[in-house]
Amino acid sequence: SGVKHGDYQCNNAMVLWAKIKGKQTGFRGPPAVGQRVSLGATIRLLPRNLEPTSSNPEKETASPLAEAIMKNLPPSEIIESCSVAGPGFVNVVLSKNWIAQSLHRMLIDGIDTWAPRLPLKRAVVDFSSPNIAKEMHVGHLRSTIIGDTLARMLEFSHVEVLRRNHVGDWGTQFGMLIEFLFEKFPNPEEVNEAAIGDLQAFYKASKLRFDSDSEFKLRAQQAVVRLQGGEIRYRNAWKQICEISRTEFHRVYERLGVQLEEKGESFYNPYIPSVLEQLGNKGLIEESEGARVIFVDGVKIPLIVVKSDGGYNYASTDLTALWYRLNEEKAEWIIYVTDVGQQQHFDMVFKAAKRAGWLLADDSLYPKATHVGFGLVLGEDGKRFRTRNTEVVRLVDLLDEAKSRSKTAVLERDAAKDWPEEEVDKTSEAVGYGAVKYADLKNNRLSNYTFNFDQMLNDKGNTAVYLLYAHARICSIIRKSGKDIEQVKKNGKIVLDHDGERALGLHLVQFSEVVEQACTNLLPSTLCEYLYDLSDIFTKKFYSNCQVIGSPEETSRLLLCEATATVMRKCFYLLGIEPVYKI
């Protein structure tokens, strides 16, 4: 077969050998057949195109161990053959019959049977989380896109996900906003979105007033106290302002197909005193320069939990939210998606939680908390992304532009000439929004990425457009065959005799472990890479070498097309992208 060094590789012999050498004593030779060895690592994927490393006499002593591991492998229908190579790798070749059967079973029972199982029941994904009355900027867009994908991947893997929008709805800016609202609208019934117009502009105007009028400033400061004291007139004004922001946020979520449940900062406010008391009782809270603080390992400045004026802050809220999520919501994994700029904040919050005994010191064990950081969105000029003359990018405008640009491209295609308006519209949205999402997700999230419409809407290269059209082409192969694919599934059989068929089949059965990896490392780019490779293998290895329609292998090859389309659709779904069926 075309598999040189196996499909999978086990490097445990070297790991074991290193351990044994480290210990010297107690080693009684390689394990005998049937003797249980505890393996220091799990079976690893063989990196593509890897030649065995040049022989190293020291390491080659691991070969007898590798032989022993190989001989101890229980017989399995999954494995076609094994061999020992290089300094002690066990190379494993999968059985092509097993691959074929797995594919066929998936086609019949559905792709959800391929969902990985993760060792936890419930997670919180804290994402998007814009601030009321301030701008919802491209950073929040990244958080929304990345967080939604992570939530989708975990949900697919049988984890119950609490999708939390930790909206910034509590803070001193509300005093100013409320006073300004009272001035502009003495009659609260006149307050609505149309009257206020742009809430960001409203924020700016009130800030101007705040900075220039000391009498207003004083009233604003008192308003915060009255709001936090629960005075009804102030509560209501606060609610009105939040409601207007919410409508604006929802427009973005709706377009992107993102579900979120809002539990803003204000939600945790009533719990703060008792959580701080608990931390105080454990001796964690100290006095420093008039503030109350928690010191954590490895960071010089402490985490301030009560400001010197007695007020709470971002950290007091996050500590309390973490406590709530662990104890009230019983989540085992709490995931925070924000820009890397907030890394230190979360590092300190998590360390404080470890000091309190809420989280374990070992981050590989549950319950755990993880910060999923991401880089900046840059413009063509290499600076922070902005549109023409406005300071910030309005997300709705950005999505409008993505859609209208992709519509222009869709209308240029011959096939779309006689589509009804509705279909053009739906396709433009799928392609336009899909392009924005994929361009973000395909990069390692930690790096900055440059926002470029022309690039992301290119139908060649590693873009959503290319992938969506690749999927549509596969669907059209199946349509053109004139066969009822459900019948083919029932009566047909998959055979992987050609190298191209086998390569495609192998990549398809790896879907589950790729999703698992993407979940474990919280890296959506892993899934994008898999999807792009799938499309590449389909085209270059399979489709260009294996005739489908009219060949003796038509039935089997149609099933391979169907399996590829099915896996691609699941990838799209997990990435929050709507598939397209026609081109």
Residues that bind ligand ARG (CB under 6 A): 126, 129-131, 166, 168, 318, 321, 336, 338
CB of 556 to ligand ARG, least distance (A): 50
Q: Which is nearer to ligand ARG, 162 or 477 (CB)?
A: 162
CB of 349 to ligand ARG, least distance (A): 8
3-state secondary structure at position 166: coil
Nearest residue to ligand ARG, scored by beta-carbon proximity: 129
- Centre a 10 Å sphere on the Cβ of residue 576 and count the other Cβ atoms it contains: 22
Rounded to whole angstroms, the Cα distance separating 282 from 300 reads: 21
Rounded to whole angstroms, the Cα distance separating 339 from 522 reads: 14
3-state secondary structure at position 324: helix
CB of 36 to ligand ARG, least distance (A): 45
Rounded to whole angstroms, the Cα distance separating 88 from 124 reads: 42
Provide the token pair at 121.
Answer: 């029941």
The span from the first CA to the last CA of the chain, in angstroms, equals 36
Q: Which is nearer to ligand ARG, 89 or 358 (CB)?
A: 358
Q: Which is nearer to ligand ARG, 130 or 432 (CB)?
A: 130
- Centre a 10 Å sphere on the Cβ of residue 115 and count the other Cβ atoms it contains: 18
CB of 236 to ligand ARG, least distance (A): 23
CB of 130 to ligand ARG, least distance (A): 6
Provide the token pair at 514.
Answer: 């790729």
Phi, psi of 63 (to 5 degrees): -55, -45
CB of 140 to ligand ARG, least distance (A): 6
CB of 137 to ligand ARG, least distance (A): 8
Length of the chain: 583
User: Between β-strands 89-94 and 79-85, what pairing exists: parallel, antiparallel or unpaired?
Assistant: antiparallel
How far lies 236's CA from each of 37, 151, 233, 239, 379, in Å?
66, 33, 5, 5, 40
Q: Which is nearer to ligand ARG, 325 or 507 (CB)?
A: 325
Positive or negative torsion for Cα 506, 508, 512, 516: positive
CB of 323 to ligand ARG, least distance (A): 12
CB of 126 to ligand ARG, least distance (A): 5
Q: Which is nearer to ligand ARG, 245 or 481 (CB)?
A: 245
- Centre a 10 Å sphere on the Cβ of residue 344 and count the other Cβ atoms it contains: 13
Contact partners, residue 472, CB within 8 Å, separation at least 6 = 579, 580, 581, 582, 583
Q: Which is nearer to ligand ARG, 11 or 129 (CB)?
A: 129
CB 350 within 8 A of CB 315: no
Q: Which is nearer to ligand ARG, 321 or 465 (CB)?
A: 321
Rounded to whole angstroms, the Cα distance separating 296 from 231 reads: 37
Provide the token pair at 542.
Answer: 């399979």
549 φψ region: left (φ > 0), alpha (ψ -120 to 50), beta (else): beta
Q: Which is nearer to ligand ARG, 137 or 403 (CB)?
A: 137
CB of 129 to ligand ARG, least distance (A): 4
CB of 127 to ligand ARG, least distance (A): 8
Identify residue 411 by its one-letter amino acid code: L
Q: Which is nearer to ligand ARG, 349 or 560 (CB)?
A: 349
Q: Which is nearer to ligand ARG, 125 or 293 (CB)?
A: 125
Scanning the structure block, which residue is given the tokens 């207007």?
244
Contact partners, residue 84, CB within 8 Å, separation at least 6 = 63, 66, 67, 70, 90, 91
CB 528 within 8 A of CB 441: yes
Report which secondary-structure segment, H or E, holds 83: strand 79-85
CB 142 within 8 A of CB 339: yes
CB of 373 to ligand ARG, least distance (A): 11
Contact partners, residue 175, CB within 8 Å, separation at least 6 = 220, 221, 222, 223, 224, 225, 227
Q: Which is nearer to ligand ARG, 129 or 564 (CB)?
A: 129
CB of 125 to ligand ARG, least distance (A): 11
Q: Which is nearer to ligand ARG, 456 or 522 (CB)?
A: 522
CB 494 within 8 A of CB 559: yes
Q: Which is nearer to ligand ARG, 246 or 498 (CB)?
A: 246
